[in-house]
Amino acid sequence: MHTLLPTLQTYVQTNLLDFSALTEQRKNLLKELAHYVNAKKEKKKKINLVFICTHNSRRSHISQLWAQAAAAYYGIDNVWSYSGGTEATAFNPRAVKAMREAGFRIDENQGGENPVYAVSFSTGADAVPAFSKVYDHAANPSQDFCAVMTCSHADEHCPFIPGVEKRIALTYNDPKEFDNTPLESAKYAERVKEIGTELFYAFSLLSEK
């Protein structure tokens, strides 16, 4: 079990652990994810989760990072969280900012149009590399993984994913709709909180806490 970074720990305990607003429909989807993780856990197999949306720029990265943090928080070992898109763009700076504000430490290791970041959520765990890529990039698993579709466009336009064991459509509204508006920061923070709450709920189902 890893201890989250102090600011992230505070954010989680303040914002993410009240699951009362989750609908039964969302809970059922999250239970599917928990069942997949638990089945792999019981067989002592590596648990690969690949979060997929069209551009791998916002929702898929947010989901990837929250899943890794949730696994650490609840002491679920051998979870490896990845993300990808149907095309590559960049980890959007607005999403990076919102995740930093939640308490993740995000360092830019390589600049350019598609920066490479090192994302830390715990002092006891390796940083997670984060950059935009297609879902079948060499950095992601090619078999024995659960594909979690975080946007409806990718879910509808990517009907077949090679190597997938389980596929779950856990879609979210795109905060991109509010870029360059007065609501931009609030909507990114809202999406970060929503995704975090749901993934912490999924992993809480596996915890003895």
Show the tokens assigned to 137: 């990039």
Total number of domains in the chain: 1
In terms of Cβ atoms closer than 10 Å to its own Cβ (0-12, 13-18, 19+), residue 107 is exposed
Residue type, 185: S
98 is a domain residue: yes
pLDDT in tens, 194-207: 999 999 999 999 98
- Compute CA distances 164 → 68, 141, 147, 151, whole Å: 19, 9, 6, 17
For residues 10 and 166, give the distance between their C-alpha atoms in angstroms, rounded to a whole number.
33
In this prediction, residue 209 carries a pLDDT of 45
For residue 107, the SS3 value is: strand
Identify the domain containing residue 164 by its residue range.
6-204
| pLDDT under 50: residue ranges of the chain | 209
107 is a domain residue: yes
pLDDT in tens, 39-50: 999 999 999 999
Residue with tokens 């308490």: 103
121 is a domain residue: yes
CATH of the domain at 81: 3.40.50.2300
1 is a domain residue: no
Among 153, 12, 29, 137, CA closest to 83? 137
In this prediction, residue 208 carries a pLDDT of 59
**Given strand 116-120, what is the order of strands in its sheet?**
105-110, 116-120, 128-130
Q: CA angle, 139 as apex, 86 and 125 as ends, to 5°?
A: 120
209 is a domain residue: no
19 is a domain residue: yes
Question: Per this entry, what is the length of the chain?
Answer: 209
pLDDT in tens, 183-193: 999 999 999 99
